Amino acid sequence: MASSMIHLAITQCLTKKMKFKDSDRLSLGSILPDGIISGNSHLKKEICDGTRVTYDLEFFREKFQEEMKQDDLYLGYYLHLIQDIFYRYFIYSEHDWNPTIPGNIDRLHRDYAITNWHVVNCYKLNKEMVQAVEIEKEPITELAEFDVPGLVEEVRGQFVPIEEDNSFFFTKEMADEFIERATAFCMEEMKHLSEGKGGLDSVTWSWEKQVK
């Protein structure tokens, strides 16, 4: 999955191209699926007799279709899922990422730390983009239990300079490319939904289940 800074950068790009009702709720929604305590916040499910995996986008659209129209928290949440599903295609299919090699996951997370400060500066992100909002009575909590204050504290803690270093896999250039393409990807999806067309097909964007 993409880092919180990547999600915030895409959200920042979207707000410069489109009008939204509440940028604070949009930004929180854009990182909220990663702030879970328990549950299935990404709506991950197995399909094709357990051989493939995807996010149940259709379920989210059906369950929260009205909320997505009225509340940017839900739209941001949906766009997070869209961005993550595109991110998997970007690093696995286009860049041949292999997470099964010992140490690769830790190396990728180190790359995120290196690229985060670049993203913060390049896309003019700031801590005030991330505000804690009360969601305990929100329908979204039917999907999972979230720690919003903890998530906000964690993400705000990522707004720190880091010593310049070489990336192992995920470079600054890859981050910029993904942000640009994911922004266009989200805009196309919102255009389809606003026109009453079908949204992204979760089966088409599924991926092969990794055998442990």
Query: How many domains would you assign to the chain?
Result: 1
For 158, other C-beta atoms within 10 Å of its C-beta total 20
Task: Give the 3-state secondary structure percentages of the chain, helix then strand then coil, rounded to 5.
Answer: 55, 10, 35
pLDDT of residue 210: 78
* Tokens coding 132: 């804690």
The string of pLDDT tens digits covering residues 46-104 is: 999 999 999 999 999 999 999 999 999 999 999 999 999 999 999 999 999 998 899 99
pLDDT of residue 212: 60
Q: Which domain holds residue 68?
A: 4-208
* Tokens coding 173: 């250039």
Instruction: Check residue 166 and report its DSSP letter.
Output: -
Q: Taking residues 17-23, what's their average pLDDT?
A: 95
Q: Has residue 162 got a pLDDT over 90?
A: no
Q: Has residue 163 got a pLDDT over 90?
A: no
| Global pTM value | 0.95
Beta partners for 6? Answer: none
The string of pLDDT tens digits covering residues 90-138 is: 999 999 999 889 999 999 989 998 999 999 999 999 999 999 989 999 9
Tell me the pairing of strands 52-55 and 207-208.
antiparallel
Strand residue runs (E) in 66-197: 144-146
